[in-house]
Amino acid sequence: MACGKRIYKHLFGPVPSRRLGISLGIDLIPHKTCSYNCIYCECGKTTNLTSERREYVPTAEVIEELDSYLSESPRLDYITYSGSGEPTLHSGIEKITRFIKDNYPGYRVALLTNGSLFFDKGVRDEMKDIDVIIPSLDAATDIGFMKIDRPCSSLKVEEIISGLVELKKEFSGEFWLEIFVVPGLNDTEEELAALSKAVHRIAPDRVQLNTLDRPGVVDWIRAATQEELEKFAEGLGYERTEITGRPSSRSGVESFSGDAMECIIQTISRRPCTVEDLSSILGMHPNEINKYIQLLIEEGRVAEKREERGIFFVSVE
């Protein structure tokens, strides 16, 4: 990044996370490789829709970067698999987790995943050393699944739900299920009833309801209101359900970087930029850019403008 921050190929942050505090990201997948093409994804449209597991980036490189970064004993709440695609597609994830636990056992590891591959016992077994798994389940009917998540053709929603049920039984860590609420799609009576049944089968430690922060892949999707989220929670009928809200101020989180904020503002004050533009110019991971962009929008310092090439951000200062 232009602000003097050391650049890593596979690590990003730490970023101020609403759920995980100070979170160092590990990105194992090239942009944008995923088993889903979700209509709400802030990373953009999936360009490589696949369920094939392989070593998408060199496992040894990831471990080398982690060793370099963690050897300085940074203050972190979590080391988190997330980023540009579905982390469980990477065949080396177990080896990387084992390296962290063997060499830096004081750090907790989290996994943000779409949950699509846990029907495979081998994949479930690779997650045993992770501390917190946060899979998503946005629909429990075939129609809802196809409309919202637009999966790889080999994936079936019932198989995915069954995989999550088995994962919860076998996994000894914390299991938080995320549902992304899309008004008009998964909050109908039929969809909500199916989700409620699936959630009770899975029995997660908690359910977290989320909704749109920024424009998704399609331009017609909108954020659920607080009232809609509360009604969704009521219809779900699962006691351990919470609405994931924004932190009162991300700038109060230790990992927040004022320098990064100013770099973004200075860049878009010269010309409008997409997240990809900013990532390329500043040497920051897109997920990191997204965290700061959202705060700048909330503060009224940045506005969004949808163009043919995507969502552009402009300075309003």
Domain boundaries, the chain: 11-255, 257-317
pLDDT range class, residue 225, cuts 50, 70, 90: very high
- pLDDT tens digits along 49-103: 999 999 999 999 999 999 999 999 999 999 999 988 999 999 999 999 999 999 9
How does the average pLDDT of the chain come out, rounded? 88
CATH 3.20.20.70 fits 11-255, yes or no: yes
Q: Which amino acid is at 68?
A: S
Q: What is the reported pLDDT for 216? A: 67
Among candidate residues 146, 155, 147, 113, the one with its CA nearest the CA of residue 130: 113
277 vs 200 pLDDT, higher one? 200
CATH 3.40.50.10310 fits 257-317, yes or no: no
**Mean of the pLDDT values across residues 209-225?**
82
User: Number of C-alpha atoms within 13 angstroms, CB side, residue 62?
Assistant: 28
pLDDT range class, residue 219, cuts 50, 70, 90: confident
Q: What is the reported pLDDT for 256? A: 55
pLDDT range class, residue 4, cuts 50, 70, 90: very low
- pLDDT tens digits along 265-282: 878 877 788 888 887 777
Q: What is the reported pLDDT for 248? A: 42
Q: What is the reported pLDDT for 300? A: 83
Common-topology check for domains 11-255 and 257-317 = no
Exposed/middle/buried for residue 291 (C-beta within 10 Å: 0-12, 13-18, 19+):
buried
pLDDT range class, residue 144, cuts 50, 70, 90: very high
- pLDDT tens digits along 15-45: 777 788 888 999 999 988 999 999 998 777 8
Q: What is the reported pLDDT for 160? A: 98
Q: What is the reported pLDDT for 131? A: 98
